[in-house]
Structure 1
Amino acid sequence: MDYEPTDYKKLAIRQYPARDLRETAEGKYWRQFKEPVVVQQVGAVSHIDFSRQYPYHFAITSSTRVIVYDTHTRRVRRQFTRFKDKAYSGNFRIDGKAIVAGSEDGLVQVFDSASRTLLRQLKGPQRPTHVAQFSSDKVHVLSGSDDATVRWWDVTMGEQVCRLDGHSDYVRAAAASPVSADMWATGGYDHICKLWDVRSSECTMNLDHGSPIEDVAFFPSGSLIATAGGNSVCIWDMLSGGKLLRRLANHQKTVTCVCLSPMAGPASAAAPRMLTGSLDGHVKVFELDTFTVTHATKYTAPILSLGLSPDCGLLAVGMADGYLSIRKHSRPKEATGPGVTGRPAKRERYKPRLTAATYRYFLRGQNEKAAEGDFKVAARRRARLAPYDQFLRKFHYREALDAALDSRQPEVVASVLEELAARSGLNAALGGRDAEGLLPVLAHLDKYIREPRYARLLIGVAHRILDAYASAVGASREVDELLLQLRQHVHLELRLQADLRRIQGMMEPILAASLASGEPQLPEE
């Protein structure tokens, strides 16, 4: 009897839950950063800064030089080497035409980013200057040094405008407010983050982080500020007088850098994220509603610096062993924000006018959607069946199982096996096989029998195969090797289950005693 495809109901593939939390859209977005290009530097990469002008080149500070990299080729464009000793904090001006950097001898130097010409040398601090940043007005520079002073410079005159005293230890971090060119935050090893108004040369707010501060960053709104130091990151509310909103202790070692991405996330280009790097070798991504970790990446060495381009297209991470990791995103977003220049607008493509002389004229309207009152004529389409469905329709059970195994999709194989069991066709599908036909079945069992989602079904299949082919053991070397591997995997799984039961037995009295004493239980992870 010949069956039409409409008489056969396609096999419904069973859906299993995701194996872990990485299968979220957020994890997929951050995993779309490609394999890193790793570049060896002369010394540790202590600072990374991206230009806000397209194409968003970035500068790194390592040993006695500041190096500018091209974001497209990820190769060196220019090097600034006019430092007698170590260089620190190489930063772009907002227009990308100048670079400022501090140094071990206390000098603050300003360079032309295109010609590498030394424009200014600002002399004042007698100790190493670890902080040097341009103001958004392009003519002022803020510096912080190990003499516990913060200085405000006029680049056009090459003179110090004012000196901001208040820190009692090294000044190692600074950030400019995104909403005011006169408001700055500085952090030092005295555990204090100070908010300065350079117009009055006064400190307007003190924030006690509780440990030496390594980095400071303003949120895009300018109302919140993040301080990093010790193994924690603190979020402060400026509008509430410096109220501590959250202390994030998600790292095991000192947090060395923090930055706020202008945009990120899988769905919206307006969803910012906070990235932190630590000496424990992890870069962690936080969403800014509940400050939970949405993604984490492990690097091979302690992290000293990180930077994310304004369009989130490039992630650069500097490490203590002198390696620079550069990862490029497959689909960067469009950059937005104060002082950020996006990609140049593309010219609109010329579209020829449709006339009866062109073929497209007769195809117009095919993609239009029907109106509410239009009558729709359903098109009859022949059902397209997968190979295993075609064999199941004809009751060829062995061929159906082979077709499912060829798909290399465990969900498909599990669904076909369940359908065969419901039809009482497992014996027909598994029996009468030679060594070549038995190898794919054993390879699938060997790979997935320890998966909790498929274990119950595959254990029954394994029992049937052992019962049917026990007398043929030793006839094929390949089959014997797969059976031996299957046996080893089963023994390892049994040993693991025994260890878990032993741990469970030890934990039950502890939990029972905790409930009896009224102590709160630990939250589930």
Structure 2
Amino acid sequence: MAESISRTYPVKPKLKPTSSTSSQHQTPESKYWKSFKTPKQQSPQSLVSSITSITFSPISPHDFAATHSATLSIFSGKSLEPKTTISSAFKDVVTTASYRSDGRLIAAGDLSGSVHVLDVMSRVELRRLRGHTRAVRVVNYPRIDKLHLFSGADDGVVKYWDVTTEEKICDLLGHKDYVRCGDVSPVSDDMFVSGSYDHTVKVWDVRALNSGYVMEFDHGKPVEDVVYLPSGGLVATAGGNAVKIWDVLGGGRLVYAMESHNKTVTSICVGRIGKEGGEEAQQYRILSVGLDGYMKVFDYGRFKVTHSMRFPNPLMSVGFSPDCSTRVIGASNGMLYIGRRKVKGSESMELGDFGGFGPVVEEPQTRVLRPSYFRYFQRGQSEKPSEWDYLIKKPKKIKVTEHDKLLKKFMHKEALLAALNGKNPENVVAVMEELVARKKLLRCVSNLEIEELGLLLKFLQRYSTMPRFSRFLMGLTKKVVEMRAEDIKASDELRGDIRNLKRDVEEEIRLQLTLQQIQGIVSPLLKIAARR
């Protein structure tokens, strides 16, 4: 005769808080940005200093440089580890850097007003361009041109340089405040855009030096960053808590304004989804970071924020590698958050990296296990089951609480009191729901002593107004008051509990009415904003 086995399972509350976001389907876009797993954190300097800029080399393996303090740190695009540090060339804080199109030279500006042109391999300063009277905030090489560069500074002047002769070709005048950002056109080596704290963004064309800037548009806030979008016909600007997109070909028309950040947007860059040459190679996104610690991903084709990520510190700079594999964010405390995208399989190496014969892989030697080794008797325990194996799982030991044991013995009143004394509201509600299912809850309430009834009323007074339990507990409260009205009238302590319960309920009703009034004011404004 087979022996019957009875097991006891702990009761759990059926009331769960509903969330509007929990049921939403995770989009492929969100999965893509979440594939940059476990951001690597680097602190490139011993002193706390803000990461003012991040720039990637256009040449594979796409090393990247970060400016901080009086140092320019270069990191390997393969290992993401510090590769070299350049500090001897600078006598003041380095503010910005830019790689040349061939990745061999890098230009950097500092607070002294100088622009330094450095050899990446030897770390030797090849040129020093002097002409700005205040701190240089932006330096950019043109798209292909290797002999010229643009710079902008706090003196409000944008300069166009001949690097070979260290001579200034021209001063581009027009800004009335600090020039803090700029970018070169992806389709023309002669065009450049600059942003200033005078709220304006100006488009320059060095072929029309005498006419000054060729276009201007007003961002409305001090401009912290500006980038050309890949087509060359659109420009994105960041300032205040907004990122705005402008149509350059359409005469500087405002296309869209994204205001999803809570504080100032400090830096933006353009990232491409998918591998180069793939089906998604032309899907570009704007990555923005701000002092609120958020990184936002903006699809400017659909005018929609597709991903958001929170970091523990205010963010100052952001960069995305040309091969879509690495995302780097610089924080105000000198921390770099480096994320490498995890992809299935390993990409093939170039033959040139190993002299044309490919990588040499040495086979690891496996150690033969003998009965004299302890691991001989432990072998196979960590093996994963194959597809056709029949897996027998060891049942997990279930921890049974005191009220669960009492429920198993049908000691209903004792189980309710044990849960109330445990001071865990989830357990109390779970026991009450189980007693409702057994049709014993009201009988337990009627059998409670005066002190036990006071314990129940204190619990109801504390948790009946909580949104998670209110629907169940408010109905129970009404039943308890009706059933034990005579006992409550005869006890001063129970009357005090009822007064406290009434006060909390009235306060909750007043709060809900206030929230409804606020909702009535905000809802029309949200509808108007959605139409815009």
- Mapped to 2, the partners of 1:238 and 1:135 lie a distance apart of 18
TM-score by length of 1: 0.66
Deviation per CA, 1:295-331: give whole Å up to 9, x if none: 1111121111011111221111111112111121112
Residue 322 of structure 1: which of 314, 318, 334 is its match? 334
Residue 295 of structure 1: which of 303, 307, 318 is its match? 307
Residue 72 of structure 2: which of 63, 66, 73 is its match? 66
- Paired residue type of 2:195: G
- Mapped to 2, the partners of 1:209 and 1:192 lie a distance apart of 6
- Mapped to 1, the partners of 2:344 and 2:161 lie a distance apart of 36
Structure 1 residues 125-164: aligned runs within 5 Å = 125-136=132-143, 137-164=145-172
> Helix, strand or coil: the match of 1:199?
helix
> 2:52 matched to which residue of 1?
46
Report the Cα offset of residue 17 of structure 1.
9.5
> 2:466 matched to which residue of 1?
495
- Mapped to 2, the partners of 1:288 and 1:102 lie a distance apart of 31
- Mapped to 2, the partners of 1:130 and 1:121 lie a distance apart of 15
Report the Cα offset of residue 496 of structure 1.
3.0
- The question of whether the paired residues in 2 share the 8 Å contact of 1:55 and 1:343 is answered with no
- Mapped to 2, the partners of 1:88 and 1:316 lie a distance apart of 17
Report the Cα offset of residue 199 of structure 1.
1.7
> Helix, strand or coil: the match of 2:189?
coil
- Mapped to 2, the partners of 1:501 and 1:292 lie a distance apart of 38
Report the Cα offset of residue 203 of structure 1.
0.8
Report the Cα offset of residue 386 of structure 1.
11
Report the Cα offset of residue 511 of structure 1.
5.6
TM-score by length of 2: 0.65
% identical aligned pairs: 34
What residue ranges of structure 2 are gaps of 5+ in the alignment? 1-18, 359-387, 398-406, 411-418, 445-457, 471-506
> 1:23 matched to which residue of 2?
26
Report the Cα offset of residue 151 of structure 1.
0.7
Report the Cα offset of residue 50 of structure 1.
0.8
Report the Cα offset of residue 280 of structure 1.
1.1
Report the Cα offset of residue 128 of structure 1.
1.2
- Mapped to 2, the partners of 1:101 and 1:333 lie a distance apart of 37
- Paired residue type of 1:28: K
CA pair 135-522 structure 1, distance change in 2 beyond 3 A: closer
> 1:207 matched to which residue of 2?
217
Report the Cα offset of residue 287 of structure 1.
1.2
- The question of whether the paired residues in 1 share the 8 Å contact of 2:142 and 2:185 is answered with no
- The question of whether the paired residues in 2 share the 8 Å contact of 1:313 and 1:331 is answered with no
> Helix, strand or coil: the match of 1:200?
helix
- Mapped to 2, the partners of 1:462 and 1:138 lie a distance apart of 81
Figure out how many residues of one structure are paired with residues of the other and give that number: 402
* 1:190 and 2:194 matched: no
> 2:289 matched to which residue of 1?
277
Residue 90 of structure 2: which of 83, 87, 109 is its match? 83
Structure 1 residues 160-171: aligned runs within 5 Å = 160-171=168-179
Report the Cα offset of residue 21 of structure 1.
4.5
> Helix, strand or coil: the match of 1:206?
strand
Deviation per CA, 1:327-373: give whole Å up to 9, x if none: 211129999xxxxxx97489999xxxxxxxxxxxxxxxxxxxxxxxx
- Mapped to 1, the partners of 2:236 and 2:283 lie a distance apart of 17
Report the Cα offset of residue 22 of structure 1.
7.4
CA pair 69-348 structure 1, distance change in 2 beyond 3 A: closer
Structure 1 residues 198-277: aligned runs within 5 Å = 198-201=206-209, 202-263=212-273, 268-277=280-289
Deviation per CA, 1:64-114: give whole Å up to 9, x if none: 011101122221111111101111211111111110001111111101111
- The question of whether the paired residues in 2 share the 8 Å contact of 1:54 and 1:343 is answered with no
After TM superposition, the structure 1 stretch with the greater mean CA deviation from structure 2, 65-74 or 324-333, is 324-333
What residue ranges of structure 1 are gaps of 5+ in the alignment? 1-15, 336-341, 350-382, 389-401, 407-429, 434-441, 472-486
- The question of whether the paired residues in 2 share the 8 Å contact of 1:263 and 1:311 is answered with no
Report the Cα offset of residue 465 of structure 1.
8.0
- The question of whether the paired residues in 2 share the 8 Å contact of 1:46 and 1:62 is answered with yes
Report the Cα offset of residue 36 of structure 1.
2.1
> 1:373 matched to which residue of 2?
none
- Paired residue type of 1:131: V
- Mapped to 2, the partners of 1:447 and 1:27 lie a distance apart of 37
- Mapped to 2, the partners of 1:293 and 1:269 lie a distance apart of 19
> 1:56 matched to which residue of 2?
62
Deviation per CA, 1:397-430: give whole Å up to 9, x if none: xxxxx98x99xxxxxxxxxxxxxxxxxxxxxxx9
* 1:103 and 2:113 matched: no
Structure 1 residues 366-405: aligned runs within 5 Å = none
- Mapped to 2, the partners of 1:236 and 1:145 lie a distance apart of 23
Give the root-mean-square deviation of aligned CA atoms: 4.4
- Mapped to 2, the partners of 1:465 and 1:57 lie a distance apart of 68
> 2:35 matched to which residue of 1?
32
- The question of whether the paired residues in 2 share the 8 Å contact of 1:449 and 1:459 is answered with no
- The question of whether the paired residues in 1 share the 8 Å contact of 2:425 and 2:463 is answered with no
Report the Cα offset of residue 170 of structure 1.
0.9
